Amino acid sequence: MYDWNRVEARSWTGRSIALVDETLRDGLQSPSAIDPPIEVKLRILHAMADLGVDIASVGLPAAGARTQRDANALATEIARQRLPLRASAAARTVASDVEAVVEISQRAGIPVDCYAFLGSSPIRLYVESWSSGWLVERVRAAGEAARKGNLAFCLVLEDTTRTRPEALHELFSVAVDAGAVRICLCDTVGHADVRGTRALVEFARSTLVEIGAPHVQLDWHGHNDRGLALGNALAAVRAGVDGVHGCAGGFGERTGNVPMEHLVAQLAELRIRAAVPKPVIAAYARTALTAIDSSHAAHTQRQNTEPLVPLSFRVNGDAVDLAVRPSRTLLEVLRYDLDLVGTKQGCDQGECGACTVLVDGEPVLSCLTLAASTAGHDVTTVESLSGAPKLDPLLDAFDHHGAGQCGFCTSGMLVAAKGLLAHTPRPSRREIQHAISGNLCRCTGYGPIVDAIEAASLAPMDPAPVLPLPGAGPMPAALPPHASRSK
């Protein structure tokens, strides 16, 4: 195999890249997010630590009492559990916001980096009626407040991709003078793509050198405008930033942010950061998204109170009318509501195939199928295969060929085979192997199963095989005529 990713020998960056997780600030500003209770936020914080995040935003404390309380609790948790995270908090570039961050830092007894944000593009200045002199003054005031509170001060310049270089030069100098240890670009990315990103970061880097502040670090916090969040973040890394921001699932204000999971995976792929095991990434995403994704969370909250919905469908040819919760799976309805326990549950997550049934003749995994979605459809289960004395050819062949040992996966196999034979009456062995490739068997090694399905496909459908039943010999003699009737 040729790997084009490996053609370029040059390393993507010479810097070590910090990960800044903004889920609990920017992520919660997404229109699709809900603000979860603090217990849940704490769980998300731990998931960040597990993921290897360096800096975790605990929120924008000035946004309100609840946000402030939560930010406090999050910072305290980092301190108390000695989580390997550095806390950060967002602030507008005003002294009172910065002081709110100072208070959190002092209560928790740990440093909290203050990310103070400020719009800088001409259009923003025009819309907000800000003058550049006024901007400079605000930066100074915020920097002063941070210095007093002993906080690391980071200036977040919004809309930077639309700001003139001269204006940036001036803001950078002011920020450095105000004691900023870090400058963060650029929030809204707008039309800028990787070209703009790269040019901007390189400009910022050289400007910092030029003004005698090479020690000041650069962060990239770029929104997902035009779907370029990850691409722009990687371009920024290449152009020389020291940290990149991301949020679980790409949640974030406006168009969203860089999905942290993708960022982690991609930085590992580029050998910039250590690889994180997939299950850890998955656990992070699950923890965060089940809590903040409003569609998911609302679903969870609804579960117990969700109204019953009518479900009319046909099962093995019989009309069935039920009322079910919308979240009930077809597997649950078959096994628990209809006592059709021939269909088995092996994993309940669509991996093993033991729960395979046919819906309108097509095999589906009943554990992943909502029962309500089968309204008006035809469901066929393994119970539809006829038993003694006229055995279904598939059952007969499976029994003959030793195609089942423990028999637990066999129901799903039989149904998958039935689905196959319905549209491909004479399948090749390869077609059979493909048809059952979603059904795991742990006993047989599959050979006898393929043999059995092949044999069933070749068996004459009529007459069906007759199961040799015990006691098929002479029946008890006929009774004598009833005495009273013969009178």
Partner 1 sequence: MTGLVGKPGRRGDLVRRVRGEVCFTDDLRLPRMLFAKILRSPHPHARIVGLDATKALALPGVVAVLTGKDLPVRFGIIPWTPDEHSLVVEKARFVGDGVAAIAALDERTAARACELVEVTWEVLPPVLDLDTARDQPAIGLGASGKDNVSKVVDLAFGDVDAALRGSALVVEGDYHFEGTAHAPIETHCALARYDSDGLLTVWSTTQVPHYLHRELSRVLQLSPARIRVIQPPVGGAFGGKSEPFGHEMVVAKLAMVTGRPVKILLTREEEFYVHRGRHPMRMHFAVGAQRDGKLTAVDAKTDIDGGAYSSFGLVTTYYSGQLLTLPSFAPNYRFSSTRYFTTKPPCGPKRGHGSVQPRFAFEITLDKIAVELGLDPIEIRRTNAVPGNSTLNGMRITSNGYLECLARVEAASQWKERRSKLGFGRGLGVASSAYISGTNYPIYPNEMPQSAVQLKVDRSGVVTVFNGASEIGQGTDTLLATIVADELGLDLGCVRVVSADSDLCPVDLGAYSSRGTFMNGNACLMAVREVKHKLVTAVAEKLAVPPADVFVTRGFLAARGLENQAIPVDEAIRLAEARFGTLGATGWYKSPPGLGGSYRGGTIGASPAYSFTAHVAEVKVDVETGFVEVVKVWCAHDCGKAICPSLVEGQIEGSVYMGVAEALLEEHLVDHRGLHAGPNFLDYRIPTSLDVGDVEALIVESIDPEGPLGAKEAGEGPLHSSIPAVANAIFDAVGIRLDRLPFSPARVLAALEAKRSV
* Binds partner 1 by CB under 8 A, chosen from 148, 191, 271, 278: 278
Provide the CB-side half-sphere exposure for 40 (13 A, CA).
16
Provide the CB-side half-sphere exposure for 21 (13 A, CA).
29
Stretch that binds partner 1, among 60-68, 213-221, 333-341, 418-426 (CB under 8 A): 333-341
CA–CA dist 411, 413 (Å, integer): 5
Stretch that binds partner 1, among 116-124, 143-151, 186-194, 396-404 (CB under 8 A): 396-404
Strands 243-246 and 217-222, bridge-based pairing:
parallel
Chain position carrying tokens 């003004």: 211
CA–CA dist 252, 247 (Å, integer): 7
Residue 431 near partner 1 by CB under 8 A: no
Write down the least CB distance from residue 468 to partner 1, Å. Answer: 7
Residue 133 near partner 1 by CB under 8 A: no
Q: Would you give the binding string for partner 1 spanning residues 27-56, x where CB under 8 A is met?
A: -----------------------x------
CA–CA dist 408, 344 (Å, integer): 7
Write down the least CB distance from residue 433 to partner 1, Å. Answer: 4
Contact 170, 137 (CB under 8 A): no
Q: How many helices (H) and strands (E) does the chain have?
A: 17, 13
Write down the least CB distance from residue 418 to partner 1, Å. Answer: 12
Cross-strand bridge partners of residue 180: 153
Is 179 or 346 the residue whose CB approaches partner 1 more closely?
Answer: 346
Sign of the Cα torsion 257, 261, 266, 267 reads positive
Q: Return the biggest CA–CA distance within the chain.
A: 127
Is 131 or 386 the residue whose CB approaches partner 1 more closely?
Answer: 386
Rounded to the nearest angstrom, the gap between the alpha carbon of residue 200 and the centroid of all alpha carbons in its chain is 32
Residue 167 near partner 1 by CB under 8 A: no
Residue 398 near partner 1 by CB under 8 A: yes
- Please give the torsion angle defined by the CA atoms of residues 386, 387, 390 and 393, in that order, rounded to the nearest 10 degrees: 60
* Binds partner 1 by CB under 8 A, chosen from 136, 194, 405, 459: 405
CA distances from 212 to 147, 178, 185 (A): 20, 14, 19
Stretch that binds partner 1, among 51-59, 186-194, 223-231, 442-450 (CB under 8 A): 442-450
DSSP 445: -
Is 469 or 479 the residue whose CB approaches partner 1 more closely?
Answer: 469
Stretch that binds partner 1, among 178-186, 197-205, 277-285, 357-365 (CB under 8 A): 277-285
Write down the least CB distance from residue 447 to partner 1, Å. Answer: 6
Residue 466 near partner 1 by CB under 8 A: no
Binding site for partner 1 (CB under 8 A): 1, 50, 277-280, 303-304, 335-336, 340-349, 351-352, 354, 382-383, 385, 387-388, 391, 395, 398-400, 402-411, 414, 432-434, 436-450, 467-471, 473
